[in-house]
C-alpha cells in the first residue's frame, strides 16, 4: 500500500486561483484535506492485482479440494448403489429360479392330467365301440 503525499501549498494555490477561495479558506481546506488523507493508506493497481491473483489462487485450491471431496462422496454412493443393485439381482435370480421350478412342476402335472384324460377317453371310446359295435 502507498501513502499519498499531498502538496498543500500547490492545492491552496489552485483553490485560490481557480475556485476563488480566499487565502485563509484555501490554506484551511488544503490542510484539512491533507490531514484527512494522511491517515488513509491508498492501494495501488499493482497491489490490487497481486491481491486478486492471491485470491484466485486460494479459490482454485478451494475448488480443487471441493472437487476431490465430491469425487470421494460420489465414489462412495456408486459403491453403495452397486452393492444394492447386486443384492437385488441376486434376489431376482433366486425368485426366477423358484418360478422356473414351479413352472416345470406344473408342466409335469399338466402332462399327467392330459395323458390321463386321453387314456380315459380312449378307454371310453374303445368300450363304446365294443359295446355298441357288436
Measured CA to CA, the distance from residue 34 to residue 15 in angstroms comes to 14
| pLDDT at site 4 | 64
Per-residue pLDDT of 84-93, as tens digits, reads 999 999 999 9
Q: How far is CA 97 from the centre of its chain?
A: 40
Q: How many domains does the chain have?
A: 1
Q: Provide the residue range defining the domain that includes 20.
A: 1-42
How long is the chain?
134
Residue 73 has pLDDT above 90, yes or no: yes
In this prediction, residue 37 carries a pLDDT of 77
Helix axis angle, 8-19 relative to 23-38, nearest 10°? Answer: 140
- Is residue 7 in a domain? yes
Return d(Cα 72, Cα 86) in angstroms, integer. 21
Neighbours of 55 (CB within 10 A): 10
When pLDDT is averaged across residues 44-71 and rounded to a whole number, the result is 95
Q: What is the pLDDT of residues 22-53, one digit of tens each?
A: 999 999 998 888 887 776 777 789 999 999 99
Q: Is residue 123 part of a domain?
A: no
Helices (H), 1-134: 8-19, 23-38, 45-133
Please write the tens of the pLDDT for every residue from 105-130: 999 999 999 999 999 999 999 999 98
Residue 32 in any domain: the answer is: yes
- Asked if residue 117 belongs to a domain, the reply is no
The residue ranking higher by pLDDT, 10 or 59, is 59
56 sits in the region (left: phi over 0; alpha: psi -120 to 50; else beta) called: alpha
Q: Evaluate whether residue 74 is within a structural domain.
A: no
Q: pTM of this prediction?
A: 0.47
Query: What's the pLDDT band for 134 if we cut at 50, 70, 90?
Result: low
**Residue 5 belongs to a domain:** yes
3 phi and psi angles, rounded to 5 deg: -95, 130
Question: Is residue 35 assigned to a domain?
Answer: yes
DSSP state of 100: H
CA distances from 103 to 26, 115, 117 (A): 109, 18, 21
Amino acid at each position: 500500500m502507498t501513502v499519498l503525499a499531498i502538496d498543500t501549498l500547490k492545492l491552496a494555490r489552485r483553490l485560490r486561483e481557480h475556485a476563488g477561495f480566499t487565502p485563509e479558506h484555501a490554506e484551511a481546506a488544503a490542510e484539512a484535506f491533507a490531514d484527512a488523507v494522511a491517515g488513509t493508506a491508498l492501494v495501488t493497481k499493482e497491489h490490487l492485482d497481486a491481491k486478486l491473483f492471491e485470491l484466485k489462487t486460494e479459490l482454485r485450491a478451494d475448488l480443487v479440494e471441493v472437487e476431490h471431496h465430491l469425487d470421494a462422496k460420489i465414489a462412495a454412493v456408486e459403491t453403495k448403489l452397486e452393492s444394492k443393485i447386486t443384492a437385488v439381482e441376486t434376489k431376482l435370480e433366486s425368485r426366477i429360479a423358484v418360478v422356473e421350478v414351479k413352472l416345470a412342476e406344473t408342466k409335469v402335472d399338466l402332462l399327467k392330467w392330459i395323458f390321463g384324460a386321453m387314456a380315459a377317453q380312449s378307454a371310453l371310446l374303445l368300450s363304446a365301440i365294443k359295446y355298441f359295435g357288436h
